Structure 1
Amino acid sequence: MTQRRSMPSLGEELNFLLTNRIPRRLATQFVGWLSKVEQPLVRDISIGVWRLFSRLDLSEAKKTKFVSMHDCFTRELKEGARPIDTDPDVLISPCDGIVGACGHVVDGRLYQAKGLTYRLDELVGDADFEKTYRNGCFVTLRLTASMYHRFHAPYDCTVEQVTAISGDTWNVNPIAVKRIEKLFCRNERAAIRTRLSTGSVVTLVPVAAILVASIRLHCLDLTLGMHYRGARRLACNAKLAKGEEMGWFEHGSTIIVFAPEGFALSPGIEEGATIRMGQPLLRLP
């Protein structure tokens, strides 16, 4: 039986048109510049407009005064704001987020949303990546604009390689994910390959989006985005403790976590669930 899709609301239609039918790269470059302007009036108006369209909560922020909207967006949190689950059998969530999709990769294919799928080789295009997670598991974590935008090591690990992949700057909100086929395979993204202290290889794929489309990684001391023109594969040897900061998004977006066959979803990890960095995401074999 074919399942009928519910008709989108007027608000969803407007959201889709306003964020995806504008000149995306031009808008992204402009907002990226505007967000870093440190003039007090520009900063206050920018953050004020941001508050109108999101549930921005700065009560957990490490500092209360910011020099720019970008400074506020990439804010650090107070010490202890995100307790780390120390269970050695648990892989923690690397970020705050809403579970957009989760489950098992089946013969190299996984789902983006109901009725839409994509393949591992379309996302990263690396033979080792496709082989490692061909029948593994995944969790797609969506960060909203008001969330904490730094991401952290899911386990004691070593970052071995980062693969930078150029792309577009589509919005990755739910209405776009339900409509744009292979959306995550279209946008700017990076594959961060980590080897856990247990020997398993877990990969984080941050996917950038409209309005800034940049990802900052400490292990490389550079920002990956539309202006990056360097090597596609970047070797690393950065050792990180569970919960240690890896970098940040310069705009809200998505992280897809991939683990090999044998890993399992932690209790409560299901589509629509909200999770915080440091909470259980996957169970090790």
Structure 2
Amino acid sequence: MLTFLYHTPVGRCFLKVLTKPALSNVVGRFLDLPVSRPLIPGFIRKNQLDLSDYRLEDWPCFNDFFTRRLKDGVRPVDQNPEHLIAPCDGLLTAYPVDRQAVFSIKDSSYTVYDLLRSRGLAEAFLGGTCLIFRLTPSHYHRYCYPDSGKKSENRFLPGILHTVQPVATEACPVYRQNSREYTVLRTEHFGDMVMMEVGAMLVGRICNEHPGRMPVLRGQEKGRFEFGGSTIILLLQKGTVEIREDILAATERNEEFPIRLGEPVGSKPKR
């Protein structure tokens, strides 16, 4: 189906409707209603979900099920201050940002300015690293802060809503077209970083808990995505983090590296 939508003329006509935020908003409102509860068993079967890590509850609607919470202790957060942790469950790739603040994903090139729409902020990440965590419908859809520090106010960038599956990222520049929201984190151990949440098809709502400036803690919940898969992007400044070799090697092979919230993805460079 996605191949039809992204790689045929007729499919691209349908895509213009499917990527509109208005459609995602309608779907989201339906999934908030008790009438959506019968969708839960079929979704579990289709995605072969293992619910053993989750608190089993009488979810009143599909979105409450989709944003279900983990049992205590199943995602221990690495508290070593030398380690940068994953802010979410997902499939991770790591890309270098060159001196022109450009990085390439599949056949699409991006500039940091494309993502942030702030030239001054983009310049802070010249020569740094871009980490992309892609969440599928089967992943845990809540996310946390990757280090303690202070956050800026959130900035929302409106856009359309492509799927974030590889068939789409290979066909168009998804991450600079999709609706997204970001904050700048002034962290205690890894300098300034940008944490960005990217919406996806039928994911009209990025629900962040802290809209204003405030101190935050490593592992503290930052927010959640409602129905669908989506993406978190971390932009790291040059020389602040050494990414794990196995993650870099997977990206070189054009593979995504499975990671869980709280696990280390890199460490402070040795002096």
TM range (shorter): 0.7 to 0.9
Structure 1 residue 253 displacement after superposition: 0.2
Is 1:265 matched up with 2:258?
no
User: Is the contact between residue 155 and residue 242 of structure 1 (CA under 8 Å) also seen in structure 2?
Assistant: yes
* 1:173 counterpart residue number: 165
Gaps of 5+ in 2: none
Structure 1 residue 103 displacement after superposition: 2.5
Structure 1 residue 239 displacement after superposition: 1.5
Is 1:157 matched up with 2:135?
no
From 23, 27, 31, give the equivalent of 1:31.
27
Alpha-carbon distance in 1 for matches of 2:245, 2:54 = 29
User: Is the contact between residue 137 and residue 264 of structure 1 (CA under 8 Å) also seen in structure 2?
Assistant: no
Identity percentage of aligned residues: 26
User: Is the contact between residue 135 and residue 261 of structure 1 (CA under 8 Å) also seen in structure 2?
Assistant: yes
From 8, 29, 53, give the equivalent of 1:60.
53
SS of residue matched to 1:268 = helix
Deviations 1:182-232 (A, max 9, x none): 210001001211111137101111110111221111112xxxxxxxxxxxx
Structure 1 residue 132 displacement after superposition: 1.2
Alpha-carbon distance in 2 for matches of 1:267, 1:79 = 30
Alpha-carbon distance in 1 for matches of 2:105, 2:238 = 19
* 1:229 counterpart residue number: none
Q: Tell me how large the CA RMSD over aligned residues is.
A: 2.0
Alpha-carbon distance in 1 for matches of 2:153, 2:219 = 19
Alpha-carbon distance in 1 for matches of 2:120, 2:48 = 40
Is 1:215 matched up with 2:199?
no
SS of residue matched to 1:168 = coil
* 1:3 counterpart residue number: none
2:246 counterpart letter in structure 1: G
User: Is the contact between residue 58 and residue 64 of structure 1 (CA under 8 Å) also seen in structure 2?
Assistant: no
SS of residue matched to 2:265 = strand
Assess, with a 3 A threshold, how the Cα gap between structure 1 residues 20 and 147 changes in structure 2: closer, same or farther: farther
From 169, 175, 181, give the equivalent of 1:184.
175
The 10-residue stretch of structure 1 (63-72 or 14-23) with the greater mean CA deviation from structure 2: 14-23
Assess, with a 3 A threshold, how the Cα gap between structure 1 residues 255 and 21 changes in structure 2: closer, same or farther: same
SS of residue matched to 2:65 = helix
Deviations 1:41-82 (A, max 9, x none): x312x2134235423222211233211110011111111110
Q: TM-score, normalised on structure 2?
A: 0.87
Deviations 1:92-139 (A, max 9, x none): 00000002x3131012001122x3211111111112321111111111
Structure 1 residue 12 displacement after superposition: 5.3
Gaps of 5+ in 1: 1-10, 221-235
Is 1:97 matched up with 2:87?
no
Alpha-carbon distance in 1 for matches of 2:96, 2:29 = 39
1:13 counterpart letter in structure 2: T
1:185 counterpart letter in structure 2: R
From 38, 50, 72, give the equivalent of 2:65.
72
User: Is the contact between residue 135 and residue 231 of structure 2 (CA under 8 Å) also seen in structure 1?
Assistant: yes
2:232 counterpart letter in structure 1: I
1:256 counterpart letter in structure 2: I
How many equivalent residue pairs? 254
Alpha-carbon distance in 1 for matches of 2:97, 2:176 = 16
* 2:79 counterpart residue number: 86
Is 1:206 matched up with 2:190?
no
Q: TM-score, normalised on structure 1?
A: 0.83
* 2:37 counterpart residue number: 43
* 2:3 counterpart residue number: 13
* 1:225 counterpart residue number: none
Assess, with a 3 A threshold, how the Cα gap between structure 1 residues 56 and 15 changes in structure 2: closer, same or farther: farther
Alpha-carbon distance in 1 for matches of 2:222, 2:180 = 15
